[in-house]
Amino acid sequence: MSTTNQNRVLTPENLEGEVLSGCKVLCKIAIGGMGTIYKARQLSMNRDVAVKVLSDELSKDRAYVQRFILEARAAGELSHTNLIHVIDVGTHHNLYYYVMEFVDGEGLDAIIEKRGTFPPGEALDIVLQVAGALDHAHRKAIIHRDIKPDNIILMPNGQIKLADLGIAKRVTTDGEGITQPGMVLGTPFYMAPEQGKDSRLVDRRSDIYALGASFYHMLSGKVPFDGKTCLEVVLKAIEAKPEPLLQIKENLPPRVVAICEKMMQKEPQDRYQTTQEVIQDLERVKAGLDPLGAPMPMAVSRMAGARAAAAAAAAAPVPPDSAQASRRSGLSRVPTTARLRESGSRPCTPRRFFFDALILPGPAKRGGGQRAERR
N-to-C CA span, the chain: 26
3-state SS class at 112: helix
Q: pLDDT tens across 244-272, in order?
A: 999 999 999 999 999 999 999 999 999 99
Q: Once rounded to an integer, what is the mean pLDDT over residues 99-120?
A: 94
Q: Are 82 and 151 in contact (CB under 8 A)?
A: no
Q: What is the pTM of this model?
A: 0.73
Catalytic site residue from 109, 146, 207, 281? 146
The whole-number pLDDT of residue 242 equals 95
Q: Once rounded to an integer, what is the mean pLDDT over residues 281-298?
A: 92
Q: Are 218 and 353 in contact (CB under 8 A)?
A: no
Strand partners, 50: 39, 100
Q: Once rounded to an integer, what is the mean pLDDT over residues 10-26?
A: 93
H helix or E strand, kind and range, residue 194? helix 193-197
Mean pLDDT of the chain: 78
CATH numbers and ranges of domains, the chain: 14-101 (3.30.200.20), 106-298 (1.10.510.10)
Q: Once rounded to an integer, what is the mean pLDDT over residues 186-213?
A: 89
Q: What is the rounded CA–CA span in Å between residue 109 and residue 145?
A: 17
The whole-number pLDDT of residue 302 equals 52
Higher pLDDT among residues 320 and 80, named by residue: 80
Residue partners of 128: CB distance under 8 A and separation at least 6: 279, 282, 283, 286
pLDDT over 60 (residue 30):
yes
Q: Are 221 and 192 in contact (CB under 8 A)?
A: no
Q: Once rounded to an integer, what is the mean pLDDT over residues 286-299?
A: 87
- Band of residue 82 on the pLDDT scale cut at 50, 70, 90: very high
Q: Once rounded to an integer, what is the mean pLDDT over residues 96-112?
A: 93
Is 281 designated active site?
no
Q: Find how far residue 256's CA is from the centre of its chain.
A: 16
